[in-house]
Amino acid sequence: MSGPMALEPGGAEQDTLALRLADARRPVPRAADHHTLALVRPGHGVQHAAVDRLAAELADRVAPAVHPYEVAALLESEGLTGEAIAEQYGHRDLFSLATALYERVPRSFPEPPRPADPWRPDHVRCALRGALFALPGLGYALAGRLLPHGGTVTALVVAGLVSWAWNQALGHRAYLRLAAGRREAGRTLLKGAPLGALAATAAGAPFA
């Protein structure tokens, strides 16, 4: 559709501006036609089916967006260029397509996943840890017949009880020192382990 429009009443022929509706395949005027102004209607030439398919594919990521600019960033991350957008979807630029997707997909803000309960006990780990702590006592029970009679077994039991209690206290102390760094926690273990051995020996020596 085109027609002459006089700029001035009774003007010359060269003072006439021709308006033409741009074709969908050529949204810009030809370079050789310097006297034609192309007007493109909103939505003219848009590939609605392709845009609908893209909206369905990206619905999960477009729905939480609060602004079309977020959708534009998503499209950029998908590798869509201006030429691809114009050819495949008929939009003039990235932001036009992002706005169309933002309007097509309803807003949805899913609830974040519920975090795991940090206080829920791990029964398997607790059982394995208890069995590990019981191994020294099992060694005492198996080697009890090989030890001389008297207070030797009693001394070992007392030393074992003291060492276990010291081990728990030292582990708790080292865990608290982790707030100051791993080096401080290691230093606590290096100092506490020999002292625990001396304490267990001193506790069991009177019964030997």
| Residue ranges covered by each domain of the chain | 2-39, 48-104, 136-207
Report the run of H or E that residue 134 belongs to, with start and end: helix 123-143
Burial of residue 208, with CB atoms counted within 10 A of its CB: 0-12 exposed, 13-18 middle, 19 or more buried: middle
152-177 helix and 182-204 helix, angle to the nearest 10 degrees: 160
The pLDDT of residue 119 is: 78
pLDDT, mean of residues 163-181: 87
How far are the Cα atoms of 61, 85, 91, 104 from residue 48, in angstroms, in the given order? 20, 12, 10, 11
**pLDDT tens by residue, 89-134:** 988 889 999 999 999 999 888 787 888 777 787 888 888 877 877 7
> What confidence category does residue 11 fall into, taking pLDDT thresholds of 50, 70 and 90?
very low
Q: Give me the half-sphere count of Cα atoms (radius 13 Å) on the Cβ side of residue 106.
A: 2
Write down how long the chain is.
Answer: 208
Assessment of whether the complete model's pTM goes beyond 0.75: no
- In the predicted structure, residue 63 carries a pLDDT above the cut 70: yes
